[in-house]
Amino acid sequence: MIQKPKGTRDMLPETCEKIRILENLFIELCGLYGFREIRFPMFEKTSLFERSVGESSDIVRKEMFRVISGANLDKYCRGGYDIQKEGLTLRPEGTAPTIRSFIENKLYADAQPTKLFYMGSNFRNERPQAGRFREFTQFGIEFIGSEDAYCDAEVIGLAMDMMERLDIDDKELRINSVGCPSCRKAYHELLRGFLADKVQYLCHDCQDRYDINPLRILDCKIEADQQRIKGHPVLLDHLCDDCAQHFESLKENLSAMELDYIVDTGIVRGLDYYTKTAFEIVSSSLGSQSTICGGGRYDGLVEELDGPPTPSVGFGMGMDRLLMAMNDLDEKEERKGIFLLALGVEQKSALVNLAVKLRREGHYCEVEVMQRSLRASMKYANKQLFKAVLVYGESEKEKGVILYRDMEKGEQIEVEFDRILEVLSE
Ligand SMILES: [Zn+2]
Ligand SMILES: [Zn+2]
């Protein structure tokens, strides 16, 4: 038996229905804030992610699904194919494609700001674990074109609204500032100085990070490394005036929006293009506390991708985590729809015709196709929570009626066949 690839999952109807609730809620909230949807390809040029996410990031180094088309496979095997230059990659995140699209379609030429949202699959070749998949769904928004700290607060506000509406418990907003290239440069030197006599004891990745981007060491998942770097200087204490002021303004805006927050200097966004605001929303709804939403400002990205200098801020929200963290939205299941049962071949076509008319009127109905008896059909319709069953047999046909059974009340009446649509519409 062929099974699904490791790290993927099937979403069965019950899950899809929950996902639809999440999507609709997200779309509704985006509408309230004026974010409009954007869709972009499932795969992009690999260089887009190398330049935006960063060649030194774990995502680019280890986790991307690179695509080689059948036509290029021979060339690749013979060594005549430059996978770095010509290669495509299944998108590992949504910000870079959004910004690529913003630049390519010259959206910057319109009156600013540009407010976009997206929903869809991303792909990362991570070790599968609970709540983490190799194909995962992300909701995201990007608020492009302004450096006003209100934008950061609005982005956070939308994410918090989403959690609120989903009734997610113990949510906690944590904010930090990761500075800008100028204050970060000075800080990197400070951090390297602090780490100089410790780096040889850190993990292999951290030893690489020391030269490329020591800030990443603070983000290392290895507990022993975290112990060794305890007491390190924090960037928040060494921000330039511009960044410090922006952070103050963010806090004022959050207070004006009645949002509680914790300043957490441990939030270091793993991507190179982040500047100033970085935030996470964590919840313990999943057992151990985990991040449901993360985002921040990335003032350097548009320029990095050859667009005009354009400040931006956004978030990505893992839908799979939300699904797990969602308190049961299962409302009491309601009976709905009509189950149509024909007894006898000749009666069936009249019922099939009735089904067409019912659907035209907007009624949900289904036709019995398993050749169940009257009794078995009633049992089935009851279990499936149909609101009503219509039975059309030989005796009904002779009398010109159809049997209508109300499954809620357990009562049944005969209705003139020609009047059944009228009766149902009442
Ligand atoms: Zn700065
Ligand atoms: Zn490490």
Q: Which two tokens stand for residue 75?
A: 């060339």
Say whether pLDDT at 208 is over 60. Answer: yes
Is the model's pLDDT at 126 over the cut of 60?
Answer: yes
**DSSP codes of every residue in 178-212:** ---HHHHHHHHHHHHHHHTTTGGGS-HHHHHHHHH
- Residue 160 CB contacts under 8 Å (≥ 6 apart), including other chains: 171, 173, 259, 281
Q: Strand, coil or helix: what is 97?
A: helix
Residue 272 binned pLDDT confidence (cut-offs 50, 70, 90): low
CATH 3.40.50.620, applies to 338-425: no
Tell me how far apart the alpha carbons of residues 134 and 126 are, in angstroms, rounded to a whole number.
Answer: 6
pLDDT-derived band at 167, boundaries 50, 70, 90: confident
Q: What is the pLDDT of residue 215?
A: 80
Ligand 1 centre to CA of 296 (Å) is 15
pLDDT greater than 60 at residue 94 = yes
* In the chain, ranges of CATH 3.40.50.800 domains: 338-425
* pLDDT of 177 over the 90 cut: yes
Q: Considering every ligand atom shown, identify the ligand nearest to the alpha carbon of residue 202 and give its number.
A: 2
Overall CATH class of domain 13-180+240-325: alpha beta
Could you tell me the distance, in angstroms and rounded to a whole number, from the CA of residue 180 to the centre of ligand 1? 4
CA of 86 to the centre of ligand 1 (A): 36
CA of 243 to the centre of ligand 1 (A): 4
How far, in Å, from the CA of 308 to the mean position of ligand 1?
20
46 pLDDT band, cuts 50/70/90, is very high
Centre of ligand 2 to C-alpha 214, Å, is 11
Give pLDDT, residue 216: 81
Ligand 2 centroid to Cα of residue 237, in Å, is 23
Work out the average pLDDT over 184-209.
91
| pLDDT(350) > 80 | yes
Instruction: Give the per-residue pLDDT at 270.
Output: 58
Q: Which residues, at least 6 apart from 199, have a Cβ–Cβ distance to it below 8 Å?
A: 206, 207, 210
User: pTM of the prediction?
Assistant: 0.88
Expressed in angstroms and rounded, the spacing between residue 271 Cα and the centre of ligand 2 is: 16
Give the range among 180-189, 265-274, 371-380 with minimum mean pLDDT: 265-274
Residue 119 has a pLDDT of 97
8 Å CB contact between 117 and 139: yes
Q: What is the pLDDT of residues 248-258, one digit of tens each?
A: 999 999 999 99
Please list, in sequence order, all residues whose beta carbon lies within 8 angstroms of the beta carbon of residue 38, skipping any fewer than 6 positions away. 98, 101, 116, 117, 118
Query: What is the average pLDDT across 141-160?
Result: 98
What value does the mean pLDDT of the chain take? 91
CB of 273 within 8 A of CB of 304? Answer: yes
pLDDT of residue 307: 96
**Closest ligand relative to 217 C-alpha:** 2
Binned at pLDDT 50, 70 and 90, residue 271 comes out as low
pLDDT score, position 287: 66
Cβ atoms of 135 and 8 closer than 8 Å:
yes
Summarize pLDDT for 283-333 with one digit per residue, the tens.
887 666 688 899 999 999 999 999 999 999 999 999 888 887 765 655 667
| 212 C-alpha to ligand 1 centroid (Å) | 19
Compute, in angstroms, the gap from residue 219 CA to the centroid of ligand 2.
Answer: 8
**Residue 228 has which token pair?**
């060794």
How many whole angstroms from 246 Cα to the centroid of ligand 1?
Answer: 9
pLDDT in tens, 364-416: 999 999 999 999 999 999 999 999 999 999 999 999 999 999 999 999 999 99
β-partners of residue 401 are: 416
pLDDT at residue 322, as a whole number: 85
SS3 275: strand
Q: Ligand 1: distance of its center to the CA of 239 in Å?
A: 5
User: What pLDDT does residue 329 have?
Assistant: 58
With 0-12 / 13-18 / 19 or more C-beta atoms within 10 angstroms meaning exposed / middle / buried, residue 189 is exposed
> Tell me, what's the pLDDT at 181?
87
Find the ligand nearest to 299 CA.
1
For the CA of 220, the nearest ligand: 2
3-state SS class at 360: helix
Q: What is the mean pLDDT of residues 93-119?
A: 97
What is the four-CA torsion angle of 227, 232, 235, 236, rounded to 10 degrees? Answer: 80
Ligand 2 centroid – CA 196 distance (Å): 14
Categorize the per-residue pLDDT at 214 as very low, low, confident or very high, splitting at 50, 70 and 90: confident
Q: Are 167 and 120 in contact (CB under 8 A)?
A: no
Separation between Cα atoms, residue 89 and residue 68, nearest integer Å: 9
**Regarding predicted confidence, which is higher, 303 or 80?**
303
Round to whole Å and give the CA distance between 278 and 243.
Answer: 12
State the span(s) of the chain assigned CATH 3.30.930.10.
13-180+240-325
Instruction: Write the CB contacts of 363 (distance below 8 Å, at least 6 apart in sequence).
Output: 337, 338, 424
Rounded CA gap, 88 and 75, in Å? 15
